[in-house]
Chains A and B, each alone.
Chain A
């Protein structure tokens, strides 16, 4: 246990969208799960959060190490998954995360990838589906430190609103202190394509099933290639059924 002070959610950027009251219930938080991946080794982790909790995985990848972290963040209350990764020379890191929230749920994914040495590669793909009065927040940071030349970092954050009453917060952040780096990022909040939905329904699909079909592909983008892709997809689809 660490004796971190409860952050003032209005003032601390990384906690800006967290609900103060729900957070107070969970305080004090457990220390982050800290993992160092030795040179040349491969690390795999799936995080499934379906309760009220804040979990934090903090990775350090030594030179040439690789890691793949996949996240399914679902549940009816407040749940936050934080993943931080610091990459050594030539390391490779993948984060694929989905979160689904309906009712008055608040889910957060906070990802921060630091390229600390040359030639590391990373990608973050986060997909959020929100219905009801739910709030989904994604903070995704890429930091490229001085000297981390040859960095190749990608980030794609997308959210889909099933109801206009849901709220998506998406904040990508790039901090680049090196030359000769490639950073690609995209961030979008949208609604299901109405014409696509009508097309599927015109062939006989009930509206919830038409929506599920369209969203399944959207979510799968984040989970493709996960070691237990099938299980994670099934969990995400089960949560999706609950929203439709």
Chain B
């Protein structure tokens, strides 16, 4: 589904990703762990097409297409979802308006029919319910005044509504309380654990991986994948730290 080959990327002229390769097949959940500043978020932003994240080498192929040739909104329409480490506040724009427009923009780009207001609200209610988020929150401006944990939960509601094929979730677990962690983890399973879909989880902690069980775990350090393994690798990392393992 996603093939990253020898990816090099820099931010503000500083090389961050230095030959990163990773293949993710449909139906798989991969976790990436790694020390602070290793380039995990940079990988997410580069896949999402954030301006300023310049690819200087390598390739990314998503379902046979050159992902890097697409604009951010086209990547979304192709089925990519990026869960932000720090979700952005958009004052004056309600979640409902934003998400309905976003979903319909994606559907338009894919040549599908747009959802009516009523049909959209049904989907939104269903997904908000899945994440145990109050519909009233969805009527408020995007992320404005949301607590750290609420923002992360709102990201998962967005993912549920947009229903992507592939999600990069950047520290979705950070800031979540114990119950919210379980709810979000189960939400990820419900929304994304399907044949034809895949997930790349960026996390520092085993506790999310207890709920969303990864098929593969990778260590990203110094802008490259330095070790890969099964779920046991995360446990080993938690016990021994990056220095010892990678």
Binding site for B on A (CB under 8 A): 193-196, 198-207, 209-210, 213-214, 216-218, 220-221
Q: Which residues of B contact A204 (CB under 8 A)?
A: 73, 76-77, 102-103, 105-106, 109, 162
Bound complex: CA A213 to CA B72 (Å): 17
Q: Contact between A198 and B50 (Cβ–Cβ < 8 Å)?
A: yes
Within the complex, the shortest CB–CB distance from B103 to chain A, in Å, comes to: 7
Q: Contact between B82 and A206 (Cβ–Cβ < 8 Å)?
A: no
Q: Contact between A207 and B50 (Cβ–Cβ < 8 Å)?
A: no
Q: Which residues of A contact B117 (CB under 8 A)?
A: none
Q: Is B226 an interface residue (CB 8 A)?
A: no
Interface secondary structure of A, over-half rule: helix
- On whether A202 and B48 interact (CB within 8 A), knowing A207-B73, A209-B101, A213-B101, the answer reads yes
Within the complex, the shortest CB–CB distance from A204 to chain B, in Å, comes to: 4
Which positions 82-116 of chain B face chain A at CB distance < 8 Å?
A: 82, 84, 87-93, 97-99, 101-103, 105-106, 109
Which positions 134-148 of chain B face chain A at CB distance < 8 Å?
A: 141
Bound complex: CA A38 to CA B142 (Å): 44
Bound complex: CA A216 to CA B103 (Å): 19
Within the complex, the shortest CB–CB distance from B89 to chain A, in Å, comes to: 8
Interface residues on B, range: 20 to 34
Q: Contact between A201 and B73 (Cβ–Cβ < 8 Å)?
A: yes
Bound complex: CA A209 to CA B51 (Å): 17
Q: Contact between B105 and A194 (Cβ–Cβ < 8 Å)?
A: no
Binding site for A on B (CB under 8 A): 48-51, 71-73, 75-77, 82, 84, 87-93, 97-99, 101-103, 105-106, 109, 141, 158, 162
Residue of A nearest to B50 (CB): A198
Q: Contact between B90 and A213 (Cβ–Cβ < 8 Å)?
A: yes
Question: Among A194, A199, A210, which residue has its beta carbon within 8 angstroms of that of B87?
Answer: A199
- On whether A199 and B102 interact (CB within 8 A), knowing A206-B73, A207-B73, A213-B93, the answer reads no
Bound complex: CA A199 to CA B88 (Å): 7
Bound complex: CA A234 to CA B26 (Å): 45
Q: Contact between A203 and B92 (Cβ–Cβ < 8 Å)?
A: no
Bound complex: CA A220 to CA B94 (Å): 13
Within the complex, the shortest CB–CB distance from A28 to chain B, in Å, comes to: 42
Q: Contact between A203 and B98 (Cβ–Cβ < 8 Å)?
A: yes
Q: Contact between B92 and A220 (Cβ–Cβ < 8 Å)?
A: yes
Bound complex: CA A198 to CA B98 (Å): 13
Question: Among A194, A202, A217, which residue has its beta carbon within 8 angstroms of that of B92?
Answer: A217
- On whether A214 and B93 interact (CB within 8 A), knowing A204-B109, A205-B101, the answer reads yes
Q: Contact between A202 and B90 (Cβ–Cβ < 8 Å)?
A: no
A194, A206, A207, A218: which has the most chain B beta carbons within 10 Å?
Answer: A206
Q: Contact between A202 and B93 (Cβ–Cβ < 8 Å)?
A: no
Q: Which residues of B contact A205 (CB under 8 A)?
A: 73, 101-102, 105
Bound complex: CA A200 to CA B109 (Å): 15
Q: Which residues of A contact B105 (CB under 8 A)?
A: 204-206, 209
